[in-house]
Amino acid sequence: MSFGSQIAWDDTVLPFQLDRSDIRGRVARLDGVLDQVLAQHDYPPAIEALVAEAALLTALIGQTIKLRWKLSLQVRGDGPARLIATDYYGPTEDGRSARVRAYASYDEDRLDPVAADPFSQIGKGYLAILIDQGEGMVPYQGITPIAGGSLASCAETYFAQSEQLPTRFALSFGRSTLAGQGEHWRAGGVMLQHMPKASPHVAQEGGSGDGGLLRAADMLTGDEEENWIRANTLLDTVEDLELIGPSVQPTDLLIRLFHEEQPRVFDSQSIKFGCTCSEERVRESLSIYSAKDIAHMTTDEGIVTADCQFCGAHYVLDPETLGFEADKGAPGDDD
């Protein structure tokens, strides 16, 4: 199967600003990337949908992080969809692609095969966003409860609660077939976010959302509220086929939706599927174990194996080279 992008704006995030409304945003398209993410596993449809939504949200949110930073989105619940995990790696240098990877852990025996709403398979839990700024820096973490009926709604609540930034997502994703081509995953979305204030402040305690969570209406008044409502009303007119393309360019979509808001676009960010797993990282993760622990991990064939949940890479290791009591060094180590 070929995962190469067929269209110039596939697998990109386009930042923009609505100058009239003091609102910024991004348009994302994930096509070949999403195909590669989901091709690593044979997920049931409900899990595929959750992974697709999480990957699209991660691309939209992650576009703002700096070079070499990492943004992770994790969804944990007590339902059959136990974990959805995604990572966004900022480009290593200007002009390079960002990388996205994702996977899910789920209890197949508990999944409802006819559930119309994949979000219901998460149950109670939380959505977390983590930002790793690199060695020597303390990672940032923000958490919000699972609520609102979709992962997009959870992410909107996260920005309201953690950063007091009114935020809106419009997403669409699914399998698509173009003339003369096979079936592929396509996903697209628009993110709107009110520009941050110098000193954000919410006067009231609690918000008007589920369980007292903050919503955009709790943070805006006057002209800001009017501008936000107008931009959201315009976004409400977007159609699923416009979001995912493939015949609608992101710039054309912005003009169609927001031409009166004076949209201004910036350089787009290309995205590719990418995993950071390696034999060295596997060895590092096993370095905390004793020889006795490693023995318990050793198969009848006398090897230790490890599989990457994200990309499916399979590692076969000599147990005598693992753990802090290793009898001999790893292949390639200096004598």
Do 261 and 309 fall within a single domain? Answer: no
Q: Residue 157: inside a domain, yes or no? A: yes
Shared domain check, 89 and 157: yes
pLDDT for the residue numbered 56: 96
Name the burial class of residue 189, with classes exposed (0-12), middle (13-18) and buried (19+) by CB atoms within 10 angstroms of its CB: buried
Pairing of strands 125-132, 183-194: unpaired
Quick one: 116 and 172 in the same domain?
yes
Domain match, 195 and 317 both: no
* Calpha distance 297→170 (Å, rounded): 45
- The answer to whether residues 182 and 293 belong to one domain is no
Asked whether residue 27 is assigned to any structural domain, the reply reads: yes
Q: Is 314 exposed, middle or buried (0-12, 13-18, 19+ CB in 10 A)?
A: exposed
- Cross-strand pairs, 170: 190
For 304, the domain range is: 279-321
On whether residue 87 sits in a domain, the answer given is: yes
Q: Are residues 34 and 115 in the same domain?
A: yes
pLDDT tens digits in sequence order for the chain, 335 residues long:
334 445 667 899 999 999 988 899 999 999 889 999 998 888 999 999 999 999 999 999 999 888 889 999 999 999 999 999 999 999 989 889 999 999 999 999 999 988 889 999 999 999 999 999 887 788 889 999 999 999 999 999 999 988 889 999 999 998 876 656 667 888 999 999 998 764 444 444 567 677 777 777 788 888 899 999 999 999 999 999 999 978 889 999 999 999 999 999 999 999 999 888 778 888 888 888 888 888 888 999 998 888 888 877 788 888 899 888 887 777 766 54
Beta bridge partners of 306: 315
Report the CATH number that the domain containing residue 16 is assigned in CATH: 3.55.30.10
CA-CA-CA-CA torsion sign (225, 236, 238, 2): positive
Residue 158 maps to a domain: yes
pTM of the model: 0.85
Do 210 and 315 reside in the same domain of the chain?
A: no
- Count of domains in the chain? 2
If asked whether residues 263 and 137 sit together in one domain, one would say yes
Nearest C-alpha neighbor of 16 from the set 217, 185, 249, 262: 262
Is residue 267 located within the same domain as residue 289?
Answer: no
3-state helix, strand, coil in the chain (%, to 5): 30, 30, 45
Residues 267 and 236 in one domain: yes
Q: Can you give the pLDDT at residue 308?
A: 81
Query: Beta strand 269-273 with 263-265: parallel, antiparallel or unpaired?
Result: unpaired
Q: Is residue 106 part of a domain?
A: yes
> Is 3 part of a structural domain of the chain?
no
180 & 262 share domain: yes
